[in-house]
Amino acid sequence: MRYGLSTTFALALVASAFATPSQPSPRQTNPFTTTPITDFDEPWSLAFLPDNRILVTEKRGQLRLVDPTTKAKGTITGVPSVAYGGQGGFGDVALHPNFAENNLVYISYAESGTGGAGAAVARAKLVLNTSGGGALQGLEVIWRQSQKVSATGHYSHRILFDGNSTMWISSGERQAFDPAQAMTSNLGKILRLNDDGTVPAGNPFTGTPGSQVWALGVRNPLGIAFDEQGRLWEVEMGPMGGDEINLIEKGANYGWPIVSQGDHYDGKAIPRHSTRPEFAAPKAWWTPVISPSSLIIYKGSLFSSWKGNAIISSLGALGLVRVEISGTTAREVQRISLGKRTRCVREGPDGALWVLEDGAGGRLLKLTPR
């Protein structure tokens, strides 16, 4: 057994974890004072600079720089051309943990090539000018999905750094199903890489690209975040039903597309997790779905009772879903409607929540306690 548990104990855990899906929590009064900052053309992700200005990606391929105090919006040039369409385009943006010294910014995006499109991650130096704009310089592509496919969904391509400057990438299965189980592909995987894209010591698998892989069998993992204990959590969109929050463990297989708490869109059934306890089961799951688009684990003190909770931005629930994490269990405790499909949530340096609405005209909102 992967977890060193007795099979009987593991089966009992699986059975109790899968009695029912997460219930939508009761509607509560909106706890936020909402400050709209500015709007964007299909914003996708954001990252705070040390001076509290904010980089925002727009799916068609623009990188914006926003000063939340003046609400001024500038442009950063030098973004590579992106394969815009379906779920594809410009994706994530993250700063190197030593950004203050090296000015390195990491971006993910869909790129075109033989066979269709695939996600790529590049890094570049961010050089700012005094008029609220700037440029990416010396851009180098340091990672690519191992195959390009004609589908335009499930890139996922979130980028996350841990305290050791190790880079984590969530790589979706590109609507191709089986590659999520194949070590000849890095699709449908959670990857652990050095900050230059090379493979660090300590990963559980070998080969190319298998040595990049930390965990496998994921579908469309649009959110990854560490908790205070250094555990990695992930949210992913399931098929028809079965959105998941998973605790990502070294070498674990999360079972897609062999098992799921949802079924195929054409109605064809997929066996449930309870039938195959060798696959790591989600800590909570949603049917009907919430369509999780990003994840943070709250660490601030502005919303003091939320410390350690997972906050999920949700397209389907039109707002945020708050999940209480206790040890290795997870349970939805609050659903907060913001009235719009929500593309990204991030915690600001002051503990405020910053949210990007989805789609054309999507706004950047600052949420503070009411």
Smallest CA-to-CA distance from 319 within 331, 336, 332 is with: 336
Give whichever of 119 and 232 is closer to ligand NAG, judged by the CB atom: 232
* Stretch in the footprint of ligand NAG (CB under 6 A) among 39-47, 55-63, 110-118, 132-140: 132-140
Report in angstroms how near the CB of residue 299 gets to ligand NAG at its nearest: 14
Residue type present at position 271: P
Smallest distance from the beta carbon of 202 to ligand NAG, in angstroms? 8
Is residue 154 among the annotated active site residues?
yes
Of the pair 76, 83, the CB lying nearest ligand NAG is at: 76
Nearer to ligand NAG, 125 or 276 (CB): 125
Site for ligand NAG contains 7 (CB under 6 A): no
SS3 of the chain: the string is CCCCCCHHHHHHHHHHHCCCCCCCCCCCCCCEEEEEEEEEECEEEEEECCCCCEEEEECCCEEEEECCCCCCEEEEECCCCCCCECCECEEEEEECCCHHHHCEEEEEEEEEECCEEEEEEEEEEEEECCCCCEEEEEEEEEEECCCCECCCCCCEEEEEECCCCCEEEEECCCCCCHHHHCCCCCCCEEEEECCCCCCCCCCCCCCCCHHHEEEECCCEEEEEEECCCCCEEEEEECCECCEEEEEECCCCECCCCCCCCCECCCCCCCCCHHHCCCCCCCCEEECCCCCEEEEEECCCCCCHHHCCCEEEEECCCCEEEEEEEECCEEEEEEEEECCCCEEEEEECCCCCEEEEECCEEEEEEEEEEC
- Binding test (CB under 6 A) with ligand NAG, winner from 14, 135, 182, 199: 135
The residue of the chain with the least Cβ separation from ligand NAG equals: 133
Of 41-49, 129-137, 254-262, 301-309, the segment contacting ligand NAG by CB under 6 A is: 129-137
Measured from the CB atom, the residue of 122 and 259 that comes closer to ligand NAG is: 122
CB of 134 to ligand NAG, least distance (A): 5
Write the single-letter amino acid at 285.
W
Residue 230 binds to ligand NAG (criterion: CB under 6 A): yes
Asked if 142 touches ligand NAG (CB under 6 A), the answer is: no
Q: Indicate which single residue of 133, 200, 241, 308 sits in contact with ligand NAG (rule: CB under 6 A).
A: 133
Please tell me which residue in 96, 154, 157, 273 is annotated as part of the active site: 154
> What is the nearest approach in angstroms of ligand NAG to the Cβ of residue 207?
22
Strands 232-237 and 329-337: unpaired
Residues 24 to 83: which contact ligand NAG by CB under 6 A? 75, 77
Q: Does 127 bind ligand NAG (CB under 6 A)?
A: no
Binding string, residues 146-165; x marks residues near ligand NAG by CB under 6 A: ----------------xxx-
**248 lies in the binding site for ligand NAG (CB under 6 A):** no
Among 43, 118, 134, 319, binds ligand NAG (CB under 6 A): 134
Minimal distance in Å, beta carbon 74 to ligand NAG? 6
Residues binding ligand NAG: number (CB under 6 A): 11
Residues 253-272 touching ligand NAG, rule: CB under 6 A, are: none
Q: Tell me if 201 contacts ligand NAG by CB under 6 A.
A: no
Smallest distance from the beta carbon of 162 to ligand NAG, in angstroms? 4
CA distance 61 to 111: 11
Quick check: 131 binds ligand NAG (CB under 6 A)? Answer: yes
Question: CA 28 to CA 43: how far, in whole Å?
Answer: 28
Residue 326: how many CA atoms within 13 Å on its side-chain side? 4
Residue 194 interacting with ligand NAG (CB under 6 A):
no
Question: What is the nearest approach in angstroms of ligand NAG to the Cβ of residue 78?
Answer: 8
Question: How many Å apart are CA 222 and CA 45, to the nearest integer?
Answer: 11
Select 230 or 327, whichever has its Cβ closest to ligand NAG: 230
CA distances from 162 to 29, 120, 212, 225, 226 (A): 35, 20, 16, 9, 8
Active site residues: 154
> What residue ranges bind ligand NAG (CB under 6 A)?
75, 77, 129, 131, 133-135, 162-164, 230
